[in-house]
Structure 1
Amino acid sequence: MSDMTNADDSKSGLNAVAEAVKQAPARGLPPVHLWNPEHCGEIDIVIGRDGVWMHEGSPIGRKELVRLFSTVLRKDPDGYHLVTPVEKLKIVVEDLPFRAVSVGREGDDLIFVTDVGDEVRAGEADPIVVETDPTTGEPSPRVHVRRDLWARIARSVFYELVEMAEEVDGRLILRSGGRAFSLGAVA
């Protein structure tokens, strides 16, 4: 497939990706890390800072389609791509591809749910990372979802985490999956 520059090519690219994803097992994730197709160009899909998936400047309104696309998303050294066994199309991700929109406790573990329906149990394999902007002091929390894909933790979810945390040596600490995660210094 050539570079995704006109509307017909773009539509066929979307259809090809959607068709390939439908072949994947229900709720399972296709083995995109094993697929090495030729790079086919770019497709006008942008995942905004707010988590909204856009195609040609318009939001993709069907949640099922966004979920399907999210299962074939991969981050390579040159950026984010939708990958099938026969196509690799570059997309734009303004921040992180997913949003952690809820969190709950299951025993001693924290379970996050993303905006595309992934469930993540925070722990050694899927850590919580909080970076702080040195100028503003604003926290920028994220949780690992799979491979090199992360979810930005929504502000309301971060507030829930702060409420769950305990103060240890001047830091807010959360425990999950046998690990301790720092949310930052106590102000």
Structure 2
Amino acid sequence: MTNPATSSGLSGVTEAARQAPGRGLPPVHLWHPEHCGDIDILIRADGVWLHEGSPIGRAELVRLFSTVLRKDPDGYHLVTPAEKLRIRVEDLPFRAVTMQTADGVLRFTTDVGDVVEAGADHPIIVETDAATGEPAPRVHVRAHLWARIARPVFYELVDLAETAEGRLWVRSGGAVFPLGDVE
């Protein structure tokens, strides 16, 4: 890295993320530092995190960064108590890559290790692309952060769905979520 401010920013982000106990999350919602600039990190639509155009190959480092990720009105940022660095996200920051069902709850695991139980606080939303008709399912992870539900996982959801009033629905945690129209 050639920019000392960026190097210090990346180091600061890594250090703040490491302070989260276990797999817990740092209290980024309580941190309100000044915006320090942009850092060349991109989360691609397929979930790959890039730094300066190269994939971040260490899953542990991606997990660390994901714990200090926050979405503000002006975009996605990695946030520490002292710094706020904007990053780019092509679609959504996370992917829901597996799903388990138990006791009436759909439990999703993301590509960065978060586990989310769908329900009133973590809804499943399926939007449909008007041009292609393709569904774009997502599940709420935390704060303003969402996970795109991977296609194989969406197929699992459709297999679990009930049909009512010409629509497919799934239930989880006492809530009901529409998946789309029955064709």
Report the TM-score, using the length of structure 2 for normalisation. 0.97
Structure 1 residue 11 displacement after superposition: 2.7
Q: Which 4+ residue blocks in structure 1 deviate beyond 4 angstroms?
A: none
Alignment of 1:23-34 (within 5 A): 23-34=19-30
1:48 corresponds to: 44
**What 5-or-longer segments of structure 2 have no aligned partner?**
none
Q: Give 2:176's aligned amino acid.
A: A
- Give the alignment partner of residue 14 of structure 1, picking from 10, 16, 19: 10
RMSD (Å), alpha carbons: 1.1
Equivalent pairs, count: 183
- Give the alignment partner of residue 38 of structure 1, picking from 28, 34, 41: 34
d(CA) in 2 for partners of 1:149, 1:36: 18
Structure 1 residue 106 displacement after superposition: 1.6
2:172 corresponds to: 176
d(CA) in 2 for partners of 1:11, 1:50: 26
What are the Cα deviations for residues 99-153 of structure 1, in whole angstroms up to 9, with x where unaligned? Answer: 0000010210000000000000000000000001112111000000000000000
d(CA) in 2 for partners of 1:18, 1:24: 11
Alignment of 1:31-110 (within 5 A): 31-110=27-106
d(CA) in 1 for partners of 2:20, 2:134: 39
- Give the alignment partner of residue 112 of structure 1, picking from 92, 108, 115: 108
Structure 1 residue 154 displacement after superposition: 0.3
Q: Give 2:166's aligned amino acid.
A: G
Report the TM-score, using the length of structure 1 for normalisation. 0.95
Structure 1 residue 55 displacement after superposition: 0.1
**What 5-or-longer segments of structure 1 have no aligned partner?**
none
Partner secondary structure for residue 144 of structure 1: strand
Q: Percent identity between the aligned chains? A: 69
